[in-house]
Copies of this chain bind each other. A is one copy, B any other.
């Protein structure tokens, strides 16, 4: 069957997840391929925040700590995230940012292996992970060993305290084999910490089946929790009793409202908490997770593979000579975004945004396109590539205004 726009419309018509798009508020005239950076707005979030603000805060005021159970929101939302990442209830909590949770996770992990010499990561890891871990390594007198993504496996050794990786490379879209690398880490006696920033909500993650020790992830990408949504942190149940949090705040206490002067860590996942929960941001994420209700994550992954596969195929057919694909062709080795290298990737992305196709640029030369399977259609992929073909054939990206760097890209 020939691959054309009407074929893409047919694919949408037969897509079992097609109706999920109605769970989002999407702007007219935009093909949004940046849900891996900021997820789209789910239906109901704006209304939920109105209730949280006007009723819970405005009317019930302080009483909402009990009446609306604000204090347990981090754990309640955590249990909802747990279902998406293959974790049992009671071992995920939603709080603060991915960076801060990674700090807690890797500080705690390093403390569990005091006799060892280094934290191992790869050069494709997200910069904030690098920065955080450099600080953590310095605190513990450890080295931070950074190898190429393909060399992680052979670099795990007897001196490795912690293997800390992001499952899906934010730049290339390459996906690590979490099961295998976690097993190798354990075989070597190391702790495995995974950053699920580009995983959670994009495909089924199997933290429990992979026997992962610790994980963190982002609330505002595929989970659609809104700009700067709180992040999550997972601790394997078997590790919880021994897991320490370097930042000992009152919400990590076993009995925060006893106001005792001695710190007694909460017995469960609450020990990873620190300060007062950001209720407004948490309420938004809580509501956003409704978009995943009754979604079959295997189906979600299947659609993601087909969307990214379609994009790769269309780009190869129509634009192959002009972009270098840096995302693995084998779907088993990629996440839910696809990246293309181009000397003028920044300007190309600006030209596309100008025409309503929103992807993003990652320095120095990567054009990145995310395919959030809950709301991206096959016809969106077609339209995006058609627009790209037009931008390239008309050299629209050469216009000077597309080369002016904005503050955030």
Contact = CB atoms under 8 A, between A and B. Distances in A.
A34 B62 CA distance: 7
Contacts of A220: 276
Contacts of A72: 407
A387 interface: no
Nearest to A56: B227
Given A246-B139, A281-B281, A61 B276 contact: no
Interface stretch (A63-71, A154-162, A232-240, A390-398): A63-71
A326 interface: no
B131 A248 contact: yes
Given A250-B128, A259-B127, A32 B54 contact: no
Most buried by B among A45, A128, A253, A360: A128
Contact of A100 (B66, B249, B284): B249
A127 B260 contact: yes
Contacts of A50: 46, 49-50
Most buried by B among A27, A30, A62, A98: A62
A130 interface: yes
Contact of A135 (B69, B126, B246, B256): B246
A91 B139 CA distance: 26
A257 B408 CA distance: 6
Interface stretch (A35-43, A79-87, A181-189, A335-343): A35-43
A54 B66 contact: no
Given A274-B97, A274-B100, A70 B228 contact: yes
Given A227-B57, A253-B131, A259 B100 contact: no
5 contacts: A49-B53, A62-B358, A132-B247, A139-B246, A278-B281
Interface of A: 25, 27, 30, 32, 34, 37-38, 40-41, 45-46, 49-50, 53-54, 56-66, 69-72, 96-100, 103, 123, 126-128, 130-132, 134-135, 139, 146, 171, 220, 226-231, 246-253, 256-261, 263, 274-282, 284, 353, 358, 360, 362-363, 406-409
